Amino acid sequence: QQPVQSPQAVILREGEDAVINCSSSKALYSVHWYRQKHGEAPVFLMILLKGGEQKGHDKISASFNEKKQQSSLYLTASQLSYSGTYFCGASESAGNMLTFGGGTRLMVKP
C-alpha cells in the first residue's frame, strides 16, 4: 500500500521553513526521500533506516519514527532551488521494493 504524504502542496517564501510528512500503515524498514524538478528525473536526497535515526545535509534533514511508521522531511530557510515535488519511498524489509507516496509539490517564491 502506498505511503501517504502530507501536505499535497505547499507554497513558501524564500527563507521560510517547511515540513513534509510520510506515513505508512505498515511497519517500515527504510524510508527514502527524492526531489523531482519539473520535466526531470527524481533525484535521491537521503535514506533513513529502521532505528529512529535522523539525517541531514545542508538545510534539508529528515527523521524516521518507526513506532509511528512515519518519516518527516524538514526544509530550513528554504531557497528557490528547493522548489519541486518531493517523494518518499518506503520499504517494509531489507529485501522489499520501494513503494512511493503520491508526492508533495513545493513552490518557493522570492
Nearest distance in Å: CB 102, another protein: 5
DSSP collapsed to 3 states, the chain: CCCEEECCEEEEECCCCEEEEEECCCCCCEEEEEEECCCCCCEEEEEEECCCCEEEECCEEEEEECCCCEEEEEECCCCHHHCEEEEEEEECCCCCCCEECCCEEEEEEC
Residue 84 binding another protein, by CB under 8 A:
no
Touching another protein, residues 17-56 (CB under 8 A): 29-30, 32, 34, 40-44, 47
Name the one range near another protein by CB under 8 A: 11-19, 58-66, 72-80, 84-92: 84-92
Name the one range near another protein by CB under 8 A: 13-21, 56-64, 76-84, 94-102: 94-102
Nearest distance in Å: CB 5, another protein: 8
